[in-house]
Amino acid sequence: MKNKTVKCFPGILAAAGFLLALADLPANSQAYGDVVKGKEFIERNCARCHAVGLNDDSHMPEAPALRTLQNRYPIDSLSEAFAEGIVTGHPEMPQFELDTQTISNMLAYIESLAGPGE
C-alpha cells in the first residue's frame, strides 16, 4: 500500500491557524450563559436602581453600575452571591432567588460590559 500525500493549500493552513488562535483566546461571555438573555433579565429586574449599560447612571446612588461589578469583585464570587441571594446590597435591594441558568446569563452580560481586553 502506498502512502498518500495530502496537499495543503495556503488558504486552508491560514484558516486552520486562525481557528487555533481563536481557541487560545479567553472565552469571555461564552464561559457563562447567553448575553442577550442576561441583558433582558437585568434590564427587566435591575435597571430601576442600577446602571445596566455602558454609559448610563444608576437611578439610586447606592446602587453600583453593573459594568463596574467585575472590577470590584471576582466574577466567580458574583456567581456565588447571586446564587445565595444578595441581602447586603443597597437598602432598597429586594431579596431574590435565581436559578443557575439565569445567573449564568447575568454573568455573561455583566462580563460583556467590560469589552474586549478588559
**pLDDT, mean of each 10-residue run, the chain (118 residues):** 47 42 38 92 92 93 89 83 70 78 94 70
Read off the pTM.
0.66
CA end-to-end span of the chain: 54
CA 101 – CA 88 distance, rounded (Å): 23
Domain that holds residue 39: 29-112
Kindly state whether residue 23 falls inside one of the protein's structural domains: no
Contact indicator for 114, 107 with CB cutoff of 8 Å: no
Work out how many domains the chain is built from and give that number: 1
Q: In this structure, how many other beta carbons lie within 10 angstroms of the beta carbon of residue 51? A: 20
Kindly state whether residue 3 falls inside one of the protein's structural domains: no
Kindly state whether residue 61 falls inside one of the protein's structural domains: yes
pLDDT of 52? 96
pLDDT of 70? 85
pLDDT of 71? 86
pLDDT of 1? 52
CATH of the domain at 54: 1.10.760.10
